[in-house]
Amino acid sequence: MSGYNDDLRELDATANEFSLKCLRFTTMAFALVWLLNMVGVFIVDRKLMTIVFLISSAVMLAPTLICRCVGTNKPWVKYMILFLSVLAITIIGCALSFHSVLLYALPLIYAAQYSKRRMIFYAYALTAVGISVGVMSSYYFGITDANMLLLTNNTTDYYVDLQNGILKDMHINMSPWSTLPRYFIMPRCIILLVFIPVIINISQNIANTAVRAAHLKEESEIDKMTQFYNNGKYKQMVEGYYPEVESVAVIFWDIDNLKYINDTYGHLYGDFLISSVADIIRANADETHKAYRVGGDEFVMILENPKTGEAEENVRLCKKMIAARNDGSNFPVSASVGMAEGSGADIAAVIHRADAVMYQNKKASKKGRTS
């Protein structure tokens, strides 16, 4: 279950990074619109456009600055990104009105990337509030949509005398606080609502695909007999992960007499020995005490930042469990062990020392049995 949750957290962190890229791209696109307006290509009031551009750009870039400080893995980061993206779009909508209508779909699209369905409803709720604030604010302070001012709902010839080229009598909207919610806020929220089933399906497909990929990757890293990490994962961790750990302890286990057991009693008994030792080692393993099967009868456990005496205690417990398992057994199990500690940056040297100690103990064990 923890592996599944880790996969979802990784998916959300990747989605956060992509959302940040989209916000930066949106800022650049708005900067282009602002420049075109400043040189006269568009006809929006320059002062109004500049104020909106500066404030909304600051809001859209804020998540990037925050994530550079705290990272993208925190559970609350996705809520912050969606909130600030809706806030930026609302700021644009307050001034530019109808120009920003399509932008309100962006937060829902961002939310589709995340593993939890509630993010979609969270984005929709924020966007509905943003639409409401944007419509009412743009009516009084921004570029007023003529439809809002006049409540037009007919074809052109209804309002224009095409022969004389003049407007006919038109009536001003005298009750915006009742008409705008009915004719602009509600329809836009309903239109946005129809996106939700599709976005939920897309979100679920993304999550399922990511989890399947992670599951296949995990399966490729696990030894089927012991459920330990396999030799490929061991090499990957030694090369790319443990050198970044401050300190490590390495414990090598090698099953005694496995070849003799296989040759004398058959591989079924040999597999029984392997599984028995693996069960004992697994009982003392966890997320910071990872166990690996690096050979047919060889196991390695690597402890991250162990406390003083923790590695020795782990070995003692395993030996005690082996002795308890052998008490009264007609098929005893034994394994040689070697342990070494050191810096994660020197992981290769620590492994070499633990391996050497294990082989010394194995030789001493053989001499003890033959003498």
Exposed, middle or buried by CB within 10 Å (0-12, 13-18, 19+), for 177? exposed
Could you give the CA distance from residue 355 to residue 340 in angstroms, rounded to a whole number? 9
pLDDT in tens, 28-82: 999 999 999 999 998 888 999 999 999 999 999 999 999 999 999 999 999 999 9
User: Which CATH number applies to 222-365: 3.30.300.30, 3.20.20.70, 2.60.40.10, 3.30.70.270?
Assistant: 3.30.70.270
| DSSP 3-state of 10 | helix
| DSSP 3-state of 336 | strand
Higher pLDDT, 206 or 27: 27
Mean pLDDT (the chain, rounded): 89
Q: Tell me, what's the pLDDT at 36? A: 94
The residues, ordered by sequence, that sit 6+ positions from 357 with a Cβ below 8 Å of its Cβ are 252, 338, 339, 340
Mean pLDDT within 7-28: 90
pLDDT tier at 369, thresholds 50, 70, 90 = low
Mean pLDDT within 236-257: 93
Q: Which of 127, 122, 103, 125 is nearest to 111 (CA)?
A: 122
pLDDT in tens, 156-199: 888 888 888 888 878 888 999 999 999 999 999 999 999 999 99
Poorest-confidence range of 14-23, 95-104, 214-223?
Answer: 214-223
Q: Tell me, what's the pLDDT at 368? A: 55
Q: Tell me, what's the pLDDT at 116? A: 85
Domain chopping of the chain, boundaries: 2-151+170-211, 222-365
Q: Tell me, what's the pLDDT at 256? A: 86
The residues, ordered by sequence, that sit 6+ positions from 133 with a Cβ below 8 Å of its Cβ are 90, 93, 94
pLDDT in tens, 88-136: 999 999 888 777 888 999 999 999 988 888 999 999 999 999 999 999 9
pTM of the complete model beyond 0.95: no
Q: Tell me, what's the pLDDT at 235? A: 93
In percent, the amount of the chain with pLDDT more than 90 equals 59
Q: H-helix or E-strand containing 45?
A: none
Mean pLDDT within 260-276: 84
Q: Tell me, what's the pLDDT at 1? A: 44
pLDDT tier at 371, thresholds 50, 70, 90 = very low
